Amino acid sequence: MKILVVSDSHRDFGSLLKAFKNNSDADMLIHLGDGENDIDDLSDIYPVFPMVYVQGNCDFGFHETTHIVRTKQGVNIFCCHGHTFSVKSTLNLLTDEARLNNCDIALYGHTHVPFCDIVNGIYVMNPGSTSLPRGGSKPSCGVIEISEKRAVTMNIREL
């Protein structure tokens, strides 16, 4: 299973569409917030493609603020924007919440800075921002691949 992970598109639909088209072999898309109009537009074009969206601090809709994806391979993914878990100062609250929800992976956005590592025994990824990168990074997205044997590979890709 291949999952495209994006965040913080901030009304730059073109950058989200570029990430999507660059990863056209993905089985699912997860958007980690601050792009509710962009994900709505993408859903209009690809109405049957599996997409998950969590609400960011700049969104005004009524989306969930967290979501758990349970894959057919048995890998559980905790998804959030990150602002309610203090991700700018620590990843401990995020990894604790993922563990409490029996998740192997924790995904977050909000900082606009890509990050990909294992923290406190949990795979953690921030895909950066597709449109407004910070910290010297370039526009980016994340890709997670999960094998039938539950092996997880995560990468950040520049757009």
DSSP structure string for 49-90: S-EEE---TT--S---SEEEEE-TTS-EEEEE-SGGGTTTT-
pLDDT tens digit sequence for 69-120: 999 999 999 999 999 999 999 999 999 999 999 999 999 999 999 999 999 9
Evaluate if residue 54 carries a pLDDT over 90: yes
Secondary structure letter of residue 23 according to DSSP: T
Residues 6+ positions from 85 with CB-CB distance below 8 Å: 93, 94, 97, 108
Evaluate if residue 121 carries a pLDDT over 90: yes
Evaluate if residue 138 carries a pLDDT over 90: yes
Evaluate if residue 62 carries a pLDDT over 90: no
Distance CA 128, CA 131 (A): 9
Residues 6+ positions from 151 with CB-CB distance below 8 Å: none
- Determine contact, residues 140/132, Cβ cutoff 8 Å: no
For the chain, domain boundaries: 2-158
Distance CA 50, CA 43 (A): 9
Residue at token pair 């057919």: 72
Evaluate if residue 11 carries a pLDDT over 90: yes
Distance CA 48, CA 132 (A): 28
Burial of 7 (0-12, 13-18, 19+ CB in 10 A): buried
pLDDT for 116:
98
pLDDT for 61:
85
Which helix (H) or strand (E) is 99 found in, with range?
helix 92-100
**pTM score over 0.85:** yes
Q: What is the mean pLDDT of residues 24-51?
A: 97
Evaluate if residue 36 carries a pLDDT over 90: yes
The full length of the chain comes to 159
Fold of 2-158: Purple Acid Phosphatase; chain A, domain 2 (3.60.21)
Q: What is the mean pLDDT of residues 18-22?
A: 98
Evaluate if residue 13 carries a pLDDT over 90: yes
